[in-house]
């Protein structure tokens, strides 16, 4: 499948759609998932127009993973959780719904299950408060 430059993450990268951003550098952007599976659910994407892991330039992928590491540490600290789960889906059969490569950062705590994937929309004021907690843990 060819990369569709009208996907929602491409629009966020171009500033055509809003996002609660937590971190940005030359290669990547991190922002809150608008339908979080758990409070603090954050996404990291490369700025490169890449559909999935198979099409990713390995150098850009390594820069993106460095951002995943930085943001995952900040999410862990900001949400005071004992565990962080990373998820990355490739293709509809794997559950991918947005076709721009992205990594899910999911705070995990014993006894608290994840909500359904890509379902209920979060309260925007709460998302901004969560983004601010993560930004504060990065700087
Ligand atoms: P996938 O299913 O492709 O692995 O994950 C896509 C993720 O993007 C889902 O967790 C979904 O909640 C999230 N998502 C979908 N639309 C938007 C949006 O407009 N803004 C943000 N921030 N996240 C979105």
Predicted confidence (pLDDT) per residue in 77-123, tens digit: 999 999 999 999 999 999 999 999 999 999 999 999 999 888 889 99
The percent of residues in the chain predicted with pLDDT above 70, rounded, is 100
CA neighbor of 41 nearest in space, from 104, 95, 101: 104
**Ligand 1 centroid – CA 9 distance (Å):** 8
Residues in a beta bridge with 46: 28
E strand or H helix at 83, and its extent?
strand 83-87
Angle, CA of 131, 136 and 137, to the nearest 5°:
100
Give the tokens for residue 17.
């759609």
Q: Is 114 in the pocket of ligand 1 (CB under 6 A)?
A: no
Q: Which of 35, 90, 124 to mutate to test the pocket of ligand 1 (most atoms within 8 A of CB)?
A: 35
Structural domains of the chain, ranges and CATH numbers in brackets: 8-138 (3.30.428.10)
Is the distance from the beta carbon of residue 92 to the nearest atom of ligand 1 less than 6 Å?
no
**Residue closest to 65 by CA, chosen among 27, 8, 106, 10:** 27
What's the CA-to-centroid distance between 22 and ligand 1, angstroms? 15
- For residue 102, the CA-to-ligand 1 centroid distance in Å is 9
Q: Any idea which residues carry the catalytic annotation?
A: 102
Q: Is the pLDDT of residue 135 over 90?
A: yes
Task: Give the pTM.
Answer: 0.98
Query: Structure tokens of 137?
Result: 């843990």
Q: Of 22, 39, 53, 35, which Cα lies nearest the Cα of 136?
A: 22
- Decide if pLDDT at 19 tops 90: yes
pLDDT of 122: 95
Position 139 confidence tier, pLDDT thresholds 50, 70, 90: confident
Is 19 close to ligand 1, i.e. is its CB under 6 Å away?
yes
Q: From CA 49, how far away is CA 121, in angstroms rounded?
A: 25
Ligand 1 center to 42 CA (angstroms): 10
- Inform me whether the pLDDT recorded for 1 exceeds 80: no
Q: Which residues contact 41 (CB under 8 A, 6 or more apart)?
A: 32, 33, 104, 105, 106, 107
Contact present, 53 and 62 (Cβ < 8 Å): no
């Amino acid at each position: 499948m060819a990369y569709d430059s009208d996907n929602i993450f491409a629009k966020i990268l171009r500033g055509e759609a809003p996002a609660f951003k937590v971190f940005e550098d030359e290669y990547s952007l991190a922002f809150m998932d608008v339908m979080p599976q758990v409070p603090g659910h954050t996404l990291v994407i490369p700025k490169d127009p890449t559909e999935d892991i198979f099409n990713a330039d390995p150098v850009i992928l390594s820069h993106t993973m460095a951002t995943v590491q930085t943001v995952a540490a900040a999410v862990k600290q900001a949400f005071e959780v004992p565990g962080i789960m990373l998820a990355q889906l490739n293709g509809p059969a794997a559950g991918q719904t947005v076709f721009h490569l992205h990594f899910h950062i999911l705070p995990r705590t014993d006894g608290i299950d994840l909500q359904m994937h890509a379902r209920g929309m979060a309260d925007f004021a709460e998302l901004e408060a969560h983004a601010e907690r993560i930004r504060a843990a990065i700087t």
